[in-house]
Amino acid sequence: MQLKQTWRWFGPDDPVTLQDILQTGASGIVTALHQIPHGDVWPVEEIEKRKKIIEAAGLTWDVVESVTVHESIKTQTGNYKKYIELYKQTLQNLAACDIKIVTYNFMPVTDWTRTNLDYIMPDGSRALYFNWFDLAVFDMYILKRKNAADDYNDDIIYEAEKKFHQYTQKELDDLKTMILFGLPGEKKITIPEVLDKLDWYKDVDHTALKENLKHFLREISPVADELNIKLAIHPDDPPFDVLGLPRIVSNKDDIDFILSSVPNESNGICFCTGSLGASKYNDLVNIVQSIDTRLHFAHLRNTKRDVHGNFYEADHLNGDTDMYNVVKEILAIQQKVETQIPFRPDHGHVMLDDINKKTNPGYSCIGRMRGLAELRGLMLGISRANNWQ
């Protein structure tokens, strides 16, 4: 059995239309109701409305990405018990609409973080980029987080100070916009809101956040089991602490903790090669082998690091991740389960005609279509070599 080929779509306002997606070779859609505030219940009527739009285009809604976890749940403060119950209701509503894979993450305050959304590659295409020096510029001089310098080494502090004095005000404003960009379709977070939320985490370290995640999963996994829903937690992106906040889904030990602490069948992983691959300490083949059949969804992309740990998003089959052996392991897992594991070509360079179009960062059409084509070819070759149908 082969993996299910899917594509992330941000809804009717996405510059990449469902008709475009149909021409890429993907048959499934990964989407979410981004217009609904974090923590609110997704109504059946809105889920069905989105599902009908997708099916009318000849596609299927295979994965939700994401049902966002409210910050109160992550910190176990305020009305966190209420928000857990609302999350359960959303799972019930999704199951009623026959949507059975739900991706989410447990990253505090910010979601994915990049410092440049238009990093120019040697061939003229544009990629997403993360630079420690620029993150420190934002953290120390724009956000002005208390004691921010304590979280960086001397080299980063020196380079950040130098860059800060070189940057124009526009460059600083652009840096702020890029780091706080968030997800398309969702309300943009402001500096005061970030500082306020950082205060929620003043007493939350890695251990506390792990325990809060375990509590959340022990609450929702039995519900997901009953509904036959697969939960897929997304790794931290990037896989290290950002803005002084603990990140707890960054390596094999973290993933082992999540799977062993809550052994319910529904509790699984969204295996993102880009997120985990940004750390030189992660052995992705070893990690995917340890996840085994609790791999519920896969994001396939590649990154390339420099000596400082800065990284850009490379072509899907080039970079620091051995995509051949990672994909081979995922396909081997697919042979053990009865249903198709969905994957999507995550991110992609802005290239060709897309350079002059409005696109969501990381989610232009042509770059992802190139990635999907390369991955499909790789999968076909691996499958034929192993007699996997």
Q: Pick from 322, 330, 277: which is nearest to 5 by CA?
A: 330
CB 26 within 8 Å of CB 5: yes
**At what angle are helices 284-291 and 323-334 packed, to 10 degrees?**
10
Residue 230 pLDDT level (bands cut at 50, 70, 90): very high
Out of 54-58, 187-191, 204-208, pick the least confident.
Answer: 187-191
Residue 186 pLDDT level (bands cut at 50, 70, 90): confident
* 239/341 same-domain check: yes
* 107/121 same-domain check: no
* 169/279 same-domain check: no
Q: Pick from 324, 321, 330: which is nearest to 298 by CA?
A: 330
Span 103-130, average pLDDT: 96
pLDDT at 295: 98
Identify any residues that bridge with 130 across adjacent strands, giving them in sequence order.
Answer: 311
CATH code of 33's domain: 3.20.20.150
pLDDT at 184: 78
Summarised one tens digit per residue, pLDDT across range 11-63 is 999 999 999 999 999 999 999 999 999 999 999 999 999 999 999 999 999 99
* 230/351 same-domain check: yes
The answer on pLDDT for 185 being more than 90 is no
Residue 4 pLDDT level (bands cut at 50, 70, 90): very high
Residue with tokens 């509590």: 215
At 44, the amino acid letter reads V
What's 87-120 look like in SS3?
HHHHHHHHHHCCCCEEEECCCCCCCCCCCEEEEE
**Of 20 and 184, the one with more pLDDT:** 20
pLDDT at 135: 98
CB 106 within 8 Å of CB 248: yes
Q: Given strand 116-120, what is the order of strands in its sheet?
A: 116-120, 126-130, 311-314, 302-305
Span 135-143, average pLDDT: 98
Query: How far apart (Å, rounded) are the C-alpha atoms in residues 351 and 368?
Result: 10
Summarised one tens digit per residue, pLDDT across range 297-352 is 999 999 999 999 999 999 999 999 999 999 999 999 999 999 999 999 999 999 99
* 105/69 same-domain check: yes
* 44/169 same-domain check: no
Question: Which residue range(s) make up the domain with 333?
Answer: 4-112+198-385
Distances from the Cα of 133 to the Cα of 37, 124, 152, 162, angstroms: 33, 24, 9, 9
Examine residue 238 and state whether it is found in any structural domain, yes or no: yes
CB 135 within 8 Å of CB 113: yes
Summarised one tens digit per residue, pLDDT across range 74-98 is 999 999 999 999 999 999 999 999 9
Span 105-112, average pLDDT: 94
At 183, the amino acid letter reads L
Domains contained in the chain, number: 2
Q: What percent of the chain has pLDDT over 90?
A: 97
* 207/68 same-domain check: yes
pLDDT at 183: 80
CB atoms inside a 10 Å sphere around CB 153: 11
* 229/162 same-domain check: no
* 248/322 same-domain check: yes
Query: How far apart (Å, rounded) are the C-alpha atoms in residues 229 and 73?
Result: 20
* 225/89 same-domain check: yes
pLDDT at 187: 81
Q: What is the DSSP letter of 316?
A: T
Residue with tokens 């991706």: 103
The residues that are catalytic are: 234, 272, 299, 346-347, 363
pLDDT at 165: 97
**pTM, rounded to two decimals:** 0.96
pLDDT at 188: 84
* 258/316 same-domain check: yes
